[in-house]
A and B are shown apart, each in its own frame.
Chain A
Amino acid sequence: MKRFLAFFSMLILGIAFVSFTLSQTGSPSAQMPDNVKAAVDKACFACHNTASQNAKAKEKLDFSTLSGLAKAAQIGKYREIGETIENGEMPPKKFLDNYPDKKLTAEESKLLIKWAEGEVKNLMKK
């Protein structure tokens, strides 16, 4: 019985550890709808994540840690995401010259803008 308990708690700890590390790195915040995540993965995530080589980009926005920020900070970031896409500032023009296939389609842009504004509203309500 004792051995079983020990084994069981190790298992729980193991799962907790794995899910913790996954939530720290890996991909954008878990709560994103699939289609949003796909668009972010395609056009944004490479520069805006914790492991990014692009120091300036990750300093301004890190999708891997976004959901861990204070509420007010998250609101600001989601508003900025919506604005930069709306103004056509992101992904950067220079980057798109080299990787034209990373350009957001009109639908993807609309989807991301709507998602970002939705997140702002949700956070304001909480």
Chain B
Amino acid sequence: MKKFRIAGLILAGIFIVLQFFQPELNRSGLGDNSILAKEKLPEPVAAMLKHSCFDCHSNQTNYPWYDRIAPASWLVAHHVKEGKKQLNFSDWGSKDVIDKITELGKIGDEVKSGNMPIPSYVMIHRDAKLSKEQTEELIAWTVKFSEELLAKEE
């Protein structure tokens, strides 16, 4: 019994020490160059991007308390780093029209295949879940918006 207590104390100690090693937070703000600042998106689309994508694909992550506790905080930091590498909605304004269209195509593909938002993330962050209707709406928007961008170019 005593052994268990000691093991428990050691584990708790490790857990507490872990908390001193926190990754840098991704909170420099969505920015003036973001897709929301640069484009007039339909309200439901803006809301979907905000709730389901920006945590990993923008310069402004919302961290609920459980995302601030190590080791979960490290996983979040990893997702943010890798996610922003592939797609950063805070950089939208500096892309040319072809890159914007390319990103929209990828967004449609990833959402359609259910890769995004990352399923393990959605299990914990329930408000990021997209219903079937929302998914369809988002995909339809990527198609429509690409065509609008293209038409503007001509």
A residues in contact (CB < 8 Å) with B: 59-60, 70-73, 75-77, 79-80, 120, 124
Contacts and interface: CB of A to CB of B under 8 A. Distances in A.
Contacts of A77: 105
A63 to B, nearest CB: 16
Chain A interface, DSSP helix/strand/loop, else mixed: helix
Given A120-B98, A124-B153, A76 B146 contact: yes
Interface of B: 98-99, 101-106, 109, 113, 143, 146-147, 149-150, 153
Chain B interface, DSSP helix/strand/loop, else mixed: helix
Contact of B143 (A70, A79, A80, A124): A70
Contact of A70 (B99, B102, B147, B149): B147
23 contacts: A60-B109, A70-B143, A70-B146, A71-B147, A71-B150, A72-B147, A72-B149, A73-B105, A73-B143, A73-B146, A75-B98, A75-B101, A75-B102, A75-B150, A76-B103, A76-B104, A76-B105, A76-B146, A77-B105, A80-B105, A120-B98, A124-B150, A124-B153
Kindly name the residue among B98, B104, B150 whose own CB sees the greatest number of chain A CB atoms within 10 A. Answer: B98
B109 A72 contact: no
A27 B105 CA distance: 24
Nearest to A77: B105
Kindly name the residue among A59, A71, A76, A124 whose own CB sees the greatest number of chain B CB atoms within 10 A. Answer: A76
Kindly name the residue among A72, A76, A80 whose own CB sees the greatest number of chain B CB atoms within 10 A. Answer: A72
A76 B101 contact: yes
A70 B105 CA distance: 11
A71 B104 CA distance: 13
9 closest A-B pairs (Cβ-Cβ)? A76-B105, A72-B146, A76-B102, A79-B102, A76-B101, A72-B101, A72-B150, A75-B101, A72-B147
A79 B143 CA distance: 16
A79 B150 contact: no
